[in-house]
Amino acid sequence: MEIYRLPALSDNYIFLLFDAATQTAAVVDPAEPEPVLRQLQQLGATLTTIFNTHHHADHVGANRSLLQHFPNVMVYGSEVDRGRIPGQQVFLSENDRVAFAGREAHIYFLPGHTRAHIAYYFPPVMGDDWGELFCGDTLFAGGCGRLFEGTPQQMLTSLTKLRSLPDTTRIWCAHEYTLKNLEFAITVEGDNLALQERLRAVQAARQRDEATVPSTLGLEKQTNPFLRWDVAALQATANTTDPAQTFARIRGLKDQF
C-alpha cells in the first residue's frame, strides 16, 4: 500500500492509498476533487474507496464529484454520521474492520472534534514496520482538534485510545497546523527539550515549504501537550492534576492562542 499526500484547499491534506498490484486506489477525506483526479491519472489507477473520518466539508467536499467519475466507489464513514456524509454507503462503529490493498484497518470511534469522528488504523505488516493512522482532525502533529460537538472528557478518552498505539505509528493528520501547534505547545511546556528541538526543526522545514505530516506517535508522546495531560509540567500550567481538567484547560488556552 503506497500512500500519497495531496495538498488541498489552504492547509488540508488528502491521502491517496494505492494498490499497485490491482491498480486501484482509496482516498481518505477528499477535500476537493482535482488533486485526487490528477494523482489517479498519473498512477493509471481506478478509485474504489472513499474513507471519511467525519462530516466537515473540508473532508467530504469531493465525495459527490468523485462518485460521478467513479460510480462504483464505496463511501465509508461513521455510523453516527449517518445522513451527514455525501454518498455514504458503509456505516462504521468501534472495532469494525475495513480492507484495502490486502491490509485491514481497525476503526476507532473518536468523539470530541465532532460527535461522530472515527479513525482508520492499519497495523504494521511486520512487527518492525510502520502502522498507519488516518486520524482526520482528532490528533494533529503537535496538537488536537477543536471541540465542536464533543466534551473534553470525550476527547481525552479518544486521545487515550490513540496514545495506546505503538510509537512506530505514522500520524497522517488532515491539516498542516504543526508550526502553529508547536508555537503554542512551547508556551505551556517551555522546558521540554524534545519540544524545543522539534519546534526548531519544524520552523526550518516550513521555511523550506516542506510538509510536516506524517508525524509519528513516538514523537507526539514526547512533544504534543494534548497527549501529555499526566505530565507534571502541564498539570502545573493547568493548576490541576485531574486528567480531564488538565486537558480542558490546556485546550482552552490553545483556543485563545
The Cα–Cα gap between 48 and 210 comes to: 30
- What mean pLDDT is reported for the chain? 97
106 is an active site residue: no
At residue 111 the predicted structure's pLDDT band, cuts being 50, 70 and 90, is: very high
- The residue annotated as part of the active site, out of 19, 29, 55, 175, is 175
Task: Report the CATH number that the domain containing residue 30 is assigned in CATH.
Answer: 3.60.15.10
Is residue 144's pLDDT more than 80?
yes
pTM over 0.85: yes
**What pLDDT score was predicted for residue 126?**
83
Residue 146 is predicted with a pLDDT of 96
Residue 54 appears among annotated catalytic residues: yes
Residue 188 lies in a domain: no
Q: Which three cell numbers stand for residue 8?
A: 488541498
The CA-atom distances, in angstroms, between 194 and each of 73, 143, 172, 178, 247 are 43, 15, 21, 15, 20
pLDDT in tens, 197-219: 999 999 999 999 999 999 999 99
- Residues 5-28 pLDDT 10s: 999 999 999 999 999 999 999 999
Residues 43-79 have pLDDT tens digits of 999 999 999 999 999 999 999 999 999 999 999 999 9
126 is in which domain, residue-wise? Answer: 2-178+212-230
Q: 128 catalytic, yes or no? A: no
- The values of phi and psi at residue 18, to 5°, are -125, 130
Q: Which of 19, 29, 55, 58 is catalytic?
A: 58
178-188 vs 243-255: helix crossing angle, rounded to 10 = 120
Q: Residue 245 domain-assigned?
A: no
Answer whether 7's CB lies under 8 Å from 58's CB.
no
Identified catalytic residue from 55, 81, 96, 113: 113
The structural domain count of the chain equals: 1
Position 253 in a domain:
no
Determine whether 81 is an active site residue: no
Domain contains 203: no
> What's residue 48's pLDDT?
98
Annotation says 58 is catalytic: yes
Residues 6+ apart with CB under 8 A from 10: none
Marked catalytic residue, from 19, 59, 96, 117: 59
Q: Judge whether 69 counts as a catalytic residue.
A: no
User: Is 59 annotated as catalytic?
Assistant: yes
Is residue 207 a part of any domain in this protein? no
| pLDDT for residue 128 | 77
pLDDT in tens, 187-198: 999 999 999 999
Catalytic choice (54, 55, 81, 96): 54
> Is 11 domain-assigned?
yes
Residue 17 is assigned to a structural domain of this protein: yes
SS3 248: helix
Query: Out of 56, 81, 96, 117, which one is annotated catalytic?
Result: 56
Are 138 and 59 contacting, i.e. CB atoms less than 8 angstroms apart?
A: no
pLDDT reported for residue 127: 75
